[in-house]
Structure 1
């Protein structure tokens, strides 16, 4: 643990630049390095473990969450760090459940039309749908502009009303967006679901997203091991 390492030693292991290592230290993702009398940074195996943990966390949870976890560890707030880890696992679990629901729904697709009007009080408001998905109303409107959602309007108020088919389409859109698919592609997939005119692209999208979920789960396993190693090495 007392082995003296240079920035280049840490960088070489991960194919990084030495400046990237310095930046990670500056941003609090690595613990502060000691300095030689001439001002050069001196890293140890603790710093090497921190870098391995941070990069593994980035692959598993993304840069922002990874940074938050490392900051919490360096603040000696393990509860906060583990809460962020738990949230990532909860999101993965929700994605798996949503994927399973969509895959099951695909097996029973039938053409569905959207009536021009619905009685007052029927269906979901834009706020209710946004809350259900954990997104903003602005996001729902963006999906509508892209043709992903086609809500009807309440005759009395003029407000959007989202029926069961809209909720299904929104769940699918939310899933595919987290998979990195652009809105134009999602609109095509949802239209196929809506009209049951063919599900080949939907099947490919779901298969690709399932693979991404598997890879994210494996990345979380690796990140947990790296983080645990770093926590044990810290003074």
Structure 2
């Protein structure tokens, strides 16, 4: 097989095939006396596996998996795959927690009057020091009166309610800050629903890609196995 035969199957350039070979993502090709590369069905199976691994695990991890195979290190290969599945599970759990938290927030009565730090702490059943820690982490961004006192408006109370829910679920402040930032960017919990649905679709697509990648990887491992 020529480099173009492998490239055409995946809609990539022949230079990309050579780059993948150089990076160890596919095994080295044999050379003709004149120096031309000669690929086989084993190389084609390797490229199919790598291409399938990218949407499942990302380009870096896909390369690491192929490198581990070619280094005859199956334990490292499986460890990288396991970490990818573990990350997907964590992402699913985070999505579930955020979805439940957003749903719970819709059941709260809107707070229209500004709240002081003491009033908000009492509402949540936490200490003012906790709210100050959330502010330091970027979760809360209250306004300040000329006297320097914090003023928590409706959107601040919403963010505090969400943070409180996620903290009870065991999430660290840094991750909660990212979620709250998503809500601010989206314009509220209603708009965030569309973003969460898109997030769910992307996680589903990644999970299905992992199934495809497993099949292609198994095909490659079978193709490169020595004949009995």
Q: Which residue of 1 aligns with 2:184?
A: 187
Moved more, 91-100 or 215-224: 91-100
After TM superposition, the structure 1 = structure 2 runs for residues 119-198 of structure 1, keeping only pairs within 5 Å, are: 119=127, 122=130, 144=138, 149-150=139-140, 165-166=162-163, 168=166, 171=175, 174=178, 186-189=183-186, 192-193=188-189
Alignment length (residue pairs)? 189
Question: CA–CA distance in 1 between the matches of 2:211 and 2:117?
Answer: 49
Does the Cα contact within 8 Å between 1:6 and 1:43 map onto a contact in 2?
Answer: yes
Aligned-residue CA RMSD (Å): 3.0
Are the structure 2 counterparts of residues 123 and 229 from structure 1 closer, same or farther at C-alpha, using a change threshold of 3 Å?
A: farther
Q: Which residue of 1 aligns with 2:40?
A: 44
Where in structure 2 are there 5+ consecutive unaligned residues? Answer: 122-126, 143-158, 167-172
State yes or no: 1:58 paired with 2:54. yes
Are the structure 2 counterparts of residues 11 and 186 from structure 1 closer, same or farther at C-alpha, using a change threshold of 3 Å?
A: farther
TM-score normalised according to structure 1 size: 0.70
Q: Which residue of 1 aligns with 2:154?
A: none
Does the Cα contact within 8 Å between 2:101 and 2:162 map onto a contact in 1?
Answer: no
Where in structure 1 are there 5+ consecutive unaligned residues? Answer: 127-139, 153-161, 177-182, 194-198
Does the Cα contact within 8 Å between 2:3 and 2:39 map onto a contact in 1?
Answer: yes
Q: Which residue of 2 aligns with 1:218?
A: 208
What displacement does 1:123 show? Answer: 7.0
Q: Which has the higher helix share?
A: 2
